[in-house]
Chain A
């Protein structure tokens, strides 16, 4: 029997049992859709986060924070330490003396509010040296309106694009030239008290689009470091950004080590590339985990296929007997059954990929709208948040297709083998 004839005969068999074949296929569709949706969203998320990190990412910058760094895990790296050690604003002087360091800059930040008239917006108040910040982040610390004073007087503030226009439309909350009050709550004071600092908006930053590694963010406001010292009542800083003379891996490593040594191992210097590679390995684990969960649903679909095929085999025993009496070889009977599973797997995988892709896009829209991922502290609900574009790579597409067909075929092997082993005389007698 010719291959094409085997295929069309198998297809005829499926067409006869439309509902049942449809339900069987649905199992594959759900499994594949789950795999495609989960993995393409994860991949999209990774791409988005990586891209946002890379916006204004410079391989020649390090971020120095207290703690033992990435090696001790994310908590150790980004959380504080228990040793009571704190970085001071003038620690930049120590760092500036190290080899291969071009310059460094201290950052103090607190969450607070920006207010004018009856408008209040939740934001991150960041104290930096405007001139140094502008030189390190020359592409992103750029004014869209107004101008950034390089030698600012007290009471100057530069605001991010999303603080000025949180909904990305004509509604402007704060603009250049406005006089605003910045507020934060000093919770360590006894009793806690609200601090206010009046400033005039010197500039609104050009949209950055990402959350650059240590760099400017659309949802922050920036005040001169000296103002921040007074306003926040501290000479400790949260982090120090270090600009290196070059971005070579050896330079990055040697300076990281030198900084750590200079502070007796109480600080760690993290490079953007280290963050990216950590992120990438975290995402690999997430993908493996989510893919595994989705694969289980496909396994269930496979068992469904096997179940249906065994039922179908019993119903068609007589038909198989006829085919054998007409001279069909056992191997051809086997092929017909396997072909049916290939068709189910193929159709299921194609529909599954399409619906998984659709689902991923719908979910991405919701994630973007709700700003779930980035909406947290920096932005109130309703802002642009994170836009995830699901990514369907060729390996994912082909892998899903192969997996769908593969699972179907594997679970059809046993029923197909049983069908092929039927004895014609007995099969013909079967009622």
Chain B
């Protein structure tokens, strides 16, 4: 187990926003290590900094202090293009799905591969494959508005899977879905983690949901205050 590089490692990570003239310390020294195959939930009340942390890990934003290593690379040293390239290897799943409404489910999945420069035929094949994995092969030619919340989230998971990401980042993935569908989503995510060793970092304020994961990191006021291994 020597020299195993963590998928994500945060060392004393800080993020300060300027909200008008007031400096807001969203993250005050977060330490975190996520390894391949992990299923980590970050639990905390709103304003605790969990979404900020997720944005940092997702290379959507840069930290203002400390170190954040994604597969050994320090994110704060990357330029705009390098950050974009890194994002292609991260599977995002958002609370509000963030699908593009004018194109079909399959085209949404293909879009992320098209951004990564995958050829058209390969995109098509792979999109069908991952949509099959999430159980939506029959409805792949529907547009997001024609799908239920649960189905839309499964499209989003398929899209995240498409580029074979280093890890999944989920931001309240069941926050906008009814409980029955939420359970299906969680089962799907757990299956991906258990059967395919997909590394998952999930942000939630839902205690019940967090209990389904392997590790729970409790955040409060910009720092991780407690870790629970379930």
A428's contact among B80, B98, B111, B117, by CB below 8 Å, is which?
A: B98
A327 touches B114 (CB 8 A): no
Is B22's CB within 8 Å of the partner chain A?
no
A327's contact among B61, B98, B100, B116, by CB below 8 Å, is which?
A: B116
A423 to B88, CA, bound (A): 16
Beyond A325-B87, A327-B87, A332-B115, is A318–B98 a contact (Cβ under 8 Å)? yes
The B74-98 residues at the A interface (CB cut-off 8 A) are 80-81, 84-90, 92, 94, 98
Chain A residues whose CB sits within 8 angstroms of the CB of B103 once the complex forms:
12
A325 to B89, CA, bound (A): 11
B92 touches A325 (CB 8 A): yes
Of B55, B87, B90, which is in contact with the most chain A CB atoms at under 10 Å from its CB?
Answer: B87
Is B204's CB within 8 Å of the partner chain A?
no
Chain A residues whose CB sits within 8 angstroms of the CB of B55 once the complex forms:
425
How many B residues are at the interface, by size bracket?
Answer: 20 to 34
A322 touches B81 (CB 8 A): no
B60's contact among A5, A331, A425, by CB below 8 Å, is which?
A: A425
Is B58's CB within 8 Å of the partner chain A?
yes
Beyond A322-B100, A425-B55, is A328–B60 a contact (Cβ under 8 Å)? no
Beyond A1-B115, A2-B114, A425-B55, is A327–B88 a contact (Cβ under 8 Å)? yes
A328's contact among B84, B90, B163, by CB below 8 Å, is which?
A: B84
B115 touches A330 (CB 8 A): no
CB distance from A331 to the nearest CB of B (A): 8
CB distance from A152 to the nearest CB of B (A): 84
Is B102's CB within 8 Å of the partner chain A?
yes
Chain A residues whose CB sits within 8 angstroms of the CB of B58 once the complex forms:
325
CB distance from A13 to the nearest CB of B (A): 8
Is B112's CB within 8 Å of the partner chain A?
yes
Is A193's CB within 8 Å of the partner chain B?
no
A2 touches B98 (CB 8 A): no
Beyond A425-B55, A428-B94, is A323–B60 a contact (Cβ under 8 Å)? no
Is A324's CB within 8 Å of the partner chain B?
yes
Number of interface residues of A (CB under 8 A): 25
Of A319, A423, A424, which is in contact with the most chain B CB atoms at under 10 Å from its CB?
Answer: A424
Chain A residues whose CB sits within 8 angstroms of the CB of B85 once the complex forms:
327, 329
Of A2, A16, A331, which is in contact with the most chain B CB atoms at under 10 Å from its CB?
Answer: A2
Chain B residues whose CB sits within 8 angstroms of the CB of A322 once the complex forms:
98-100
CB distance from B105 to the nearest CB of A (A): 14
Is A326's CB within 8 Å of the partner chain B?
yes
Chain B residues whose CB sits within 8 angstroms of the CB of A318 once the complex forms:
98
A326 to B100, CA, bound (A): 12
B98 touches A325 (CB 8 A): yes
A326 to B88, CA, bound (A): 6
The A89-103 residues at the B interface (CB cut-off 8 A) are none
Name the residue of chain A whose CB is nearest to the CB of B160.
A326
A144 to B86, CA, bound (A): 87
Chain B residues whose CB sits within 8 angstroms of the CB of A9 once the complex forms:
111, 114
Chain B residues whose CB sits within 8 angstroms of the CB of A324 once the complex forms:
60, 84, 87
Of B80, B81, B115, which is in contact with the most chain A CB atoms at under 10 Å from its CB?
Answer: B115
Chain B residues whose CB sits within 8 angstroms of the CB of A424 once the complex forms:
60-61
Chain B residues whose CB sits within 8 angstroms of the CB of A325 once the complex forms:
58, 60, 87, 92, 98
A425 touches B98 (CB 8 A): no
A13 to B114, CA, bound (A): 16
Name the residue of chain B whose CB is nearest to the CB of A17.
B102
Beyond A12-B102, A16-B102, A428-B94, is A5–B84 a contact (Cβ under 8 Å)? no
CB distance from B81 to the nearest CB of A (A): 5
A330 to B80, CA, bound (A): 8
Q: Could you mark each residue 1-44 of chain A with 1 if its beta carbon is under 8 Å from any beta carbon of chain B, else 0?
A: 11001000100110010000000000000000000000000000
- 20 more A-B residue pairs beyond the given contacts A319-B100, A325-B87, A330-B84, with a C-beta to C-beta distance below 8 A: A1-B114, A2-B117, A9-B114, A13-B102, A324-B84, A325-B60, A326-B112, A327-B84, A327-B85, A327-B112, A327-B115, A328-B84, A329-B85, A331-B81, A423-B61, A424-B61, A425-B60, A428-B60, A428-B94, A428-B98
Identify 24 residue pairs between A and B in the complex whose beta-carbon atoms are under 8 Å apart, listed by A's number.
A1-B115, A1-B117, A2-B114, A9-B114, A12-B103, A13-B102, A16-B102, A322-B98, A322-B100, A323-B115, A325-B60, A325-B87, A325-B92, A326-B87, A326-B92, A327-B86, A327-B88, A327-B163, A329-B81, A330-B84, A423-B61, A424-B61, A425-B55, A425-B60
